Amino acid sequence: MTPGTDNHELFENLRLELRRGSLVLAVLAALRKEHYGYTLRKTLADRGMTIDEGTLYPLLRRLESHGLLVSEWREEEKRNKRFYRLSPHGKEMFKQLMTEWQSISTSLNGML
């Protein structure tokens, strides 16, 4: 393996790590409005937060199991879709995380 590919791999790993932390916040933010999986993915992608299905759906399940989201199956356009939105506990958690994010962002901006 060349130093170039080593460097690229390292960058990719660090980039993924950086994004992983912010994905939860992005998903919670998007789910202030109700979405089903596909439209949520599109909304995130349109805002520059591309997330693959293999990451998004397990994440939604995890957040729901922690009580941060509520979901329900509903028929729309003759197809059954699972709609997600923030639960009251999720809204509370989102506010706290937002404050934390802003504090990190301010600190980092001061350093960068």
Partner 1 sequence: MDLVDGYVKAVAKALPEEQREDIIGELSEDLRSEIEDRQKTLGRPLTEEEQENLLRQRGNPWLLAARYRQDQRSVAFGRQIIGPVLYPFYVKVLSFNLGLTFLIVGGIFVALAVSGQRISYNDIASTCLLQFLIQFGVVTLIFSLVDRHLTKHPDRWHIKAKNGKFRLDLQIERDMQVRIGSHPGEVSRFESLSTIVASVVALVWWTAVQSHPFLIFGPAAAFLNLAPVWHQIYFPIVVLTDLEIVRAIINLVRPDWTQFRAIARVILQAGALAVACFAIRAANWVTPGSPVADKAGTYLQVAHIVNLCLLYVFVGAAILSVGTILFRISELIQRRRPRGGAREVAPADKKQN
Residues binding partner 1 (CB under 8 A): 36-39, 41, 52-55, 57-58, 61, 73, 79-82
Least Å distance between CB 7 and partner 1? 23
Residue with smaller CB distance to partner 1, 42 or 95 = 42
- Nearest CA among 65, 68, 38, 35 for reference residue 53: 38
Residue with smaller CB distance to partner 1, 5 or 73 = 73
Rounded (5°) CA angle 62-64-66: 75
Least Å distance between CB 37 and partner 1? 5
**Beta pairing, strands 35-36 & 69-76:** unpaired
CA 40, CA 33: separation in Å to the nearest integer? 10
Residue with smaller CB distance to partner 1, 40 or 93 = 40
Residue with smaller CB distance to partner 1, 39 or 101 = 39
Strands (E), 16-68: 35-36
Least Å distance between CB 45 and partner 1? 11
